[in-house]
Chains A and B, each alone.
Chain A
C-alpha cells in the first residue's frame, strides 16, 4: 500500500515536472514566422533582431525572416536590404553577420552565438533538465523505499 501510494505520488510529481519543463522549453523556443516566398535561401538561417527605439509605438522585436508587411520598423527593412545587397555582392552569411555584429554588437542577433559566456544560455536548460530528472529519481526512490520498521514477516531476517 505504501509502495503504491509512493508510486502514485512519484507519477504525479513527474508528470507536473515534465509539463513544466515542456512549457519552459516551448517558452525558450519562440515561434518564428516562416521565411517569405522568394527570399534568398542562403539568408534562411540569418536572423537579425531589431528593437526600434524610435518611439514607444515603434518598439518591436522582429526577425529578418519576418514578412515585410508585418515589419513596423523602417530600419529593419533597410537592414534587410543591406543583407540582400551584401549577399548578392558575394559575402558569406557569416560575413554579413559579422558586419552587423561589428556595428551593433552581438545584441543584434536573435540567437546568441555559442561561445564564451553565451554558452550558459545553451548549457543551463540541459543542466536543469538533468538536475530535474535526477531529483525525480531521488524522490521516487525515497518515496518507494520500504520502511525499515515494516514489521515481522519480511525477509530481512535470514
Chain B
C-alpha cells in the first residue's frame, strides 16, 4: 500500500519538479522575436544626429530601408534616458568606424525621446560615428516588435532580419554578426554572378 502511495506521489511530484527545473534554465527576460528570418519592416526616417567622418549624413536627410538594399544594416534602438545604452555606445561607435567603406550601414534609432536630448546625449558621450534617425510615435519600433532599449537588429543584404540582440551589445557580437552577414552576402553575390559554383547545398543560407 505504501509503495502505491509513493508511486502516486512520485508521479505527481516529478512533472512539477521537472517543469520548475526547466523554467530555471530559461532567461525570463529573453522573449523570442518572430522577426528573424523574415523581411525587415520598411521604414523611412529622418536623420537628427549626423554621425562623423565618412559615415556622416546631413541632418534632415531621410534614410529608407529600401535604399540600403545590398548592405548589411545594424539598427540600434536607443534613448538618452536609457542607462544600458551608455554601456554599448562606445563599442558600437568604434566598430562602426572600423567598417567604414564596407557595405555596412550602422544606424541609431531614437526611441521615445526628443532629438535635442538625443544630440545632447551624443555630445556628452563624446560623439557617435554613425547617424541616428528619429522615430516619432515609435512606429518603426512597434513594427520591429521592440520591447525596450537598447535593442539591436542585424539585417542582411537582402533586407531580412537576421538577428535581434536585446540589451547592451558587445563589440564581439557586432563584429561576428556583421562579418558573417557580409560573408553570406559576398557568397550569394558570387553564386548569382556564376563566379563560384555551388559545391554544397546553399538552401540553408538562402533560408536565413
Contact = CB atoms under 8 A, between A and B. Distances in A.
Interface stretch (A14-22, A35-43, A71-79): A71-79
Contact of B145 (A54, A81, A104): A104
B32 interface: yes
A-B residue pairs, 9 tightest by C-beta: A53-B148, A103-B145, A54-B148, A53-B147, A104-B145, A78-B138, A105-B34, A74-B112, A107-B31
Interface of B: 29, 31-35, 41, 79, 81-83, 112, 137-139, 141-149, 166
Contact of B142 (A51, A58, A82, A101): A82
Nearest to A52: B148
B148 A103 contact: no
A149 interface: no
Interface in A70-111: 74-75, 78-79, 81-82, 101-105, 107
Contact of A75 (B41, B81, B141): B141
Interface of A: 51-55, 58, 74-75, 78-79, 81-82, 101-105, 107
Residue among B31, B82, B139, B147 with most chain A CB within 10 A = B147
A75 B112 contact: yes
27 contacts: A51-B147, A52-B148, A53-B147, A53-B148, A54-B82, A54-B112, A54-B148, A54-B149, A55-B81, A55-B82, A55-B83, A58-B148, A74-B112, A74-B138, A75-B141, A78-B112, A78-B137, A78-B138, A78-B139, A82-B142, A101-B34, A102-B34, A104-B33, A104-B34, A105-B32, A105-B145, A107-B31
B150 to A, nearest CB: 10
Contact of A105 (B33, B112, B137, B166): B33
B31 A105 contact: yes
A42 B148 CA distance: 28
Contacts of B146: 75
Given A82-B142, A103-B144, A105-B32, 4 more contacts: A54-B79, A74-B138, A103-B35, A107-B31
B29 to A, nearest CB: 7
B142 A103 contact: yes
A51 B29 CA distance: 10
A52 B147 contact: yes
Contacts of A74: 112, 138
Contacts of A103: 34-35, 41, 142-145
Given A82-B142, A103-B142, A53 B137 contact: no
Most buried by B among A51, A82, A103, A107: A103
Nearest to A81: B137
A104 B166 CA distance: 13
A14 to B, nearest CB: 20
